[in-house]
């Protein structure tokens, strides 16, 4: 299997840089945006296999940004990576078009496994346990 191409969307630069370092041995990180408004243009330009998206971002939150992706016909798979463990957020993320939802407190344990699962499947993967 070719290396999965990932785009990150998170407004905390130090978190995004750390996440890049964790992911790069196994995946190709093609870019990072720090707000929901920039997500659509970056997906269109970079054509990642998967976008890992935070919910709470300036300009446009991640859920609304993913809704815009879907409305624009961009079918990049989306893994939400959020601090919100509340199932309401996960439900909204899946309604917006997410393939998976991971709580940041579980990211180190679950994220790489979820990315591989999402890349291989056409269904949804949920890892929202806190």
pLDDT of residue 126: 46
Question: Domains in the chain: how many in total?
Answer: 1
Write the pLDDT tens digit of every residue in 24-81: 999 999 999 999 999 999 999 999 999 999 999 999 999 999 999 999 999 899 999 9
Can you give the pLDDT at residue 95?
97
Decide: residue 35, CB within 10 A, 0-12 exposed, 13-18 middle, 19+ buried.
Answer: middle
Residue 123 pLDDT greater than 90, yes or no = no
pLDDT band at 127 (very low <50, low <70, confident <90, very high): very low
Question: The CATH number of the domain where 27 resides is what?
Answer: 3.40.50.2300
For residue 101, what are the domain limits? 5-127
Kindly list the distances between the CA atom of residue 109 and the CA atoms of 2, 41, 64, 69, 81, in Å, as whole numbers in the listed order.
22, 30, 27, 28, 13
Q: Can you tell me the distance from the alpha carbon of 101 to that of 114, in angstroms, rounded to the nearest whole number? A: 9
CA-to-CA distance for 68 and 40, rounded, in angstroms? 7
Going by pLDDT thresholds of 50, 70 and 90, the confidence category of residue 122 is low
What is the helix (H) or strand (E) element at residue 7, kind and residue range? Answer: strand 5-9
pLDDT above 80: residue 128: no
Whether the predicted pLDDT of 12 surpasses 60: yes
C-beta of residue 118 within 8 angstroms of C-beta of residue 125: yes
What would the mean pLDDT of 97-123 be, rounded to a whole number? 86
């Amino acid at each position: 299997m070719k290396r999965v191409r990932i785009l990150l969307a998170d407004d905390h630069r130090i978190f995004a840089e750390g996440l890049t370092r964790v992911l790069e041995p196994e995946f190709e990180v093609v870019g990072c945006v720090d707000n929901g408004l920039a997500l659509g243009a970056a997906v269109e330009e970079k054509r990642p296999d998967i976008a890992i998206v935070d919910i709470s971002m300036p300009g446009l939150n991640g859920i609304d940004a993913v809704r815009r992706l879907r409305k624009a016909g961009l079918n990049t798979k989306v893994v939400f990576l959020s601090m919100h463990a509340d199932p309401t957020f996960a439900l909204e993320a899946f309604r917006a078009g997410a393939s998976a939802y991971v709580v940041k407190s579980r990211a180190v344990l679950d994220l790489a496994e979820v990315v591989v699962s999402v890349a291989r499947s056409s269904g949804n993967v949920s890892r929202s346990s806190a």
